[in-house]
Amino acid sequence: MGQEPPSGRPEILWPLFAGAESLPGVGGKTAKLMARLGITRPRDLLFTPPTGVVDRRLRPSLAGAPLGEPATVEAEIGEHHPPRTKSQPYRVIARDAGAEFVLAWFRPRADWLREKLPTGSRRILSGKVEIFDGVLQMTHPDHVLTPAEAGALPDFEPVYPLTAGLFQRQMARAAAEALAFAPDLPEWHDPALMKREGWPAWRAALAALHAPTGRAALSPEAPARRRLAYDELLAHALALALARGRMRKGKGRASAGDGRLRAKLLAALPYAPTGAQARAAAEIAADMAAPERMMRLLQGDVGAGKTLVAMLALLTAVEAGGQGAMMAPTEILARQHEANLRPLAEAAGARLLLLTGRDKGAARAAKLAALKAGEADILVGTHALFQKEVEFHDLRLVVIDEQHRFGVRQRMDLLEKGLRADMLSMTATPIPRTLALASHGDMDVSVLDEKPPGRQPIDTRLVNAERIGDVVARLRAALEEGRRAYWVCPLVDESELVDLTAAEERAAQLRLALGPERVALVHGRMAPAEKDAAMAAFQSGAAQLLVATTVIEVGVDVPEATIMVIEQAERFGLAQLHQLRGRVGRGAGASTCLLLYRGPLGEAARARLTTLRETEDGFRIAEADLKLRGAGDLLGAAQSGLPDFRIANMETDGALMQVAQADARLAAERGLDGARGAALRTLLYLHDRDAAIRYLAGG
């Protein structure tokens, strides 16, 4: 049952990709419940590891058994004591080799209990041990077996994740049936690696995963788990490596500039680039001059100077006789880039255009005509840049800002359009090395790890929300001195509408306290013209306080702003707080960031806010965030292109990820021919990386 297998998938894998109902004992209702856990096929069940293990080994007696833990004994069944009232349990006395105890059931079928537990019989009993009224008790035992059935009870019972209506026994049985569907597959790992790591074969590893022999078997270091985690990491890294190979193969163009425009720009700057900026610019120029297509990620902390490096890259494309494009995820950010890049373009003598969804009619047509005729050198805009009617004269370089907002899928979509241009992705979100490999393993990485001269340290303080009156009073005094400030409203709940209401209410209160003309409001639901007007008022100084939702998180650049107030800071992630704080400290004035929190703080929230107060190093903050929140939340897996691993763990398997990337790049370079190549193709199909096989076919 289930989906028709795609033509390329090996027939040996077809049973694993049928519907969950193909498993004996799994009906439509159970399948629907499993789907809530992301299990829709036998393959998904194979890669759903137990989260715990229950020790069911037989012990001589419950005497001395740890309370609150399951225990298993063989006992003689004694007298039955049916309840006298509905609120009382049905009690059965049992005696093992060293203790007498009570078995208790609430509202059972009495005839079932008498049949299951006849007085004088011997039974294997397994369940949680408690003391009630000074007497040992096992309430609702998990297992009641005859001595002849004892072999059916494993020494260690796996514990699976559940959802309401789904039971452990159903999951355990379904996992055992899925395992019966798993074939022996040709080995895709190097024998030397297998021997060195002590890893079992694929099917043996799955069998060990679902039959843990104690808590140690659940550890990420257990050989079976580690081997299966590496399988996932290798499949992912190989898919990225094949995409990279396809992108670079044969369709690149050498774009070597003569340096004249870059020299004019650098001569016009009031400062010298940092060593990190110079190094990144040189790496990019070298990639662009090579015949292969560039796929590079420019990773820089808040305020590290990515804009200048991007402009130098765009000018390289123009010097080579071509055009450059910069794509931003939002219109606000696209307009901000245009404002920042225009003076740099003018200093270099390059022609810059802005194209957004707001351009209509004759104005839009004129821009499109200029672009097609080669009368514009650099185009800035949102993903609207890649609509059908947008034609470039000679596009050499695409710069994608806030790469993680687009993710791996969008990168692939750009490839599908057949663009021959080099690609430079940028992110202001410092990403720990492990995550950079997971989400950008198909790219080379340049890191800006120095701040340009003149950047001010930011005084970061934690302030209890009960002192909001003091904060407003201090803000009033600062505005009287002519300073500018941001006030970021809390993430109230998942609903944008509720967040919006909170922002409007806060803006109204601050207008009352500080004067209506001083306060501008910007949020995601505003009409574009209103948003522009509010931003323009703040940038010009007509408004001194910008009340905002997190729409200002990236890209807003007002060097005169020196105060950042973040309300209910405990609701934000560390990386997001770091991005918000980075909106101040951009000019010559001393800057302050006030983190307003509602006490009492939980342990994780306190750790986040304390980390932020102690450091401005985005990479340290990102590593701390990874430990606190895990990879899925760090960038937002849905939009980050981060893979959804079932067994591998980005926090603990960083070293494995690096080995997998090296292994994958080597395999992709050699081509997936021969016995190992065929086995690696099977691995890709097994882990739903079918698209990567198409890159092999497409060449």
For 682-699, what is each residue's pLDDT tens digit?
Answer: 999 999 887 777 766 543
Cβ atoms of residues 621 and 615 within 8 Å = yes
Predicted confidence band of residue 178 (pLDDT cuts 50, 70, 90): very high
What backbone torsions phi and psi does residue 503 show, to the nearest 5 degrees?
Answer: -65, -45
Predicted confidence band of residue 576 (pLDDT cuts 50, 70, 90): confident
The conformational region for residue 417 under phi > 0 = left, psi -120 to 50 = alpha, else beta, is alpha
Q: Which of 112-126, 532-546, 579-593, 605-619 has the highest mean pLDDT?
A: 112-126
Q: How far is CA 437 from CA 18, 233, 255, 655, 659, in A?
A: 32, 10, 27, 11, 11
pLDDT digits (tens, 9 = 90+) for 226-263: 999 999 999 988 988 887 777 666 567 889 999 999 99
Predicted confidence band of residue 533 (pLDDT cuts 50, 70, 90): confident
What is the pLDDT, as a whole number, of residue 699?
39
Residue 454 CB neighbour total at 10 angstroms: 11
The more confident residue out of 435 and 108 is 108
Q: Which residues pair with 444 in a beta bridge?
A: 296
What is the pLDDT, as a whole number, of residue 53?
95
The more confident residue out of 109 and 649 is 109
Predicted confidence band of residue 341 (pLDDT cuts 50, 70, 90): very high
Q: Burial of 200 by CB count in 10 Å (0-12 exposed, 13-18 middle, 19+ buried)?
A: middle
Cβ atoms of residues 239 and 689 within 8 Å = yes
Q: Superfamily for 458-615?
A: P-loop containing nucleotide triphosphate hydrolases (3.40.50.300)
Helix spans in 249-274 (H): 260-268
pLDDT digits (tens, 9 = 90+) for 116-161: 999 999 999 999 999 999 999 999 999 999 999 998 899 999 999 9
pLDDT digits (tens, 9 = 90+) for 64-79: 999 999 999 999 999 9
What is the pLDDT, as a whole number, of residue 632?
39
Q: Which two tokens stand for residue 419?
A: 């663009």
Mean pLDDT across the chain: 86
Residue 611 CB neighbour total at 10 angstroms: 19
Q: From start to end of 249-294, where are the E strands?
A: none
Q: Which two tokens stand for residue 454?
A: 């003149």
pLDDT digits (tens, 9 = 90+) for 297-330: 898 876 778 899 999 999 999 999 999 999 888 7
Q: Does 556 have pLDDT greater than 70?
A: no
pLDDT digits (tens, 9 = 90+) for 612-627: 898 877 767 776 766 6
What is the pLDDT, as a whole number, of residue 176?
95
What is the pLDDT, as a whole number, of residue 490?
78
What is the pLDDT, as a whole number, of residue 69?
94
What is the pLDDT, as a whole number, of residue 303?
72
Q: Which two tokens stand for residue 147?
A: 């001595």
Predicted confidence band of residue 40 (pLDDT cuts 50, 70, 90): very high
What is the pLDDT, as a whole number, of residue 631?
41
pLDDT digits (tens, 9 = 90+) for 378-429: 999 987 777 778 889 999 999 988 654 555 555 555 545 546 788 898 887 6
Q: Compute the distance between CA of residue 594 and CA of residue 237 in angstroms, rounded to an integer.
A: 41
Q: Which residues belong to CATH 3.40.50.300 in the chain?
A: 260-448, 458-615
Q: Compute the distance between CA of residue 529 and CA of residue 331 in angstroms, rounded to an integer.
A: 11
What is the pLDDT, as a whole number, of residue 3?
45
Average pLDDT of the segment spanning 577-601? 86
pLDDT digits (tens, 9 = 90+) for 632-678: 333 333 333 455 688 988 767 878 888 998 899 899 888 898 999 99
Mean pLDDT check: name the lowest of 439-448, 507-516, 522-531. Answer: 439-448
What is the pLDDT, as a whole number, of residue 583?
84
CATH number for domain 260-448, candidates 3.30.70.270, 3.40.1410.10, 2.40.50.100, 3.40.50.300? 3.40.50.300
- Helices then strands, each counted (H, E), the chain: 25, 21
Q: Does 527 have pLDDT greater than 70?
A: yes
What is the pLDDT, as a whole number, of residue 2?
40
Residue 600 CB neighbour total at 10 angstroms: 7
Average pLDDT of the segment spanning 575-602? 85
Q: Which residues belong to CATH 2.40.50.140 in the chain?
A: 57-153
Q: Compute the distance between CA of residue 387 and CA of residue 393 in angstroms, rounded to an integer.
A: 15
Architecture of the structural domain at 57-153: Beta Barrel (2.40)
The more confident residue out of 556 and 277 is 277
The more confident residue out of 350 and 4 is 350
Mean pLDDT check: name the lowest of 25-29, 469-473, 690-694. Answer: 690-694
Cross-sheet strand order for the sheet of 352-355 = 352-355, 378-381, 323-327, 395-400, 422-427, 295-300, 444-448
Residue reference for tokens 């989260």: 51
Q: What DSSP character marks residue 334?
A: H
Q: Does 570 have pLDDT greater than 80?
A: yes
Q: Which two tokens stand for residue 90?
A: 């049905």
Helix axes 618-629, 603-614, angle to 10 degrees: 170
What is the pLDDT, as a whole number, of residue 698?
46
Cβ atoms of residues 427 and 400 within 8 Å = no
Mean pLDDT check: name the lowest of 203-217, 316-330, 376-390, 431-445. Answer: 431-445
Average pLDDT of the segment spanning 172-196? 95
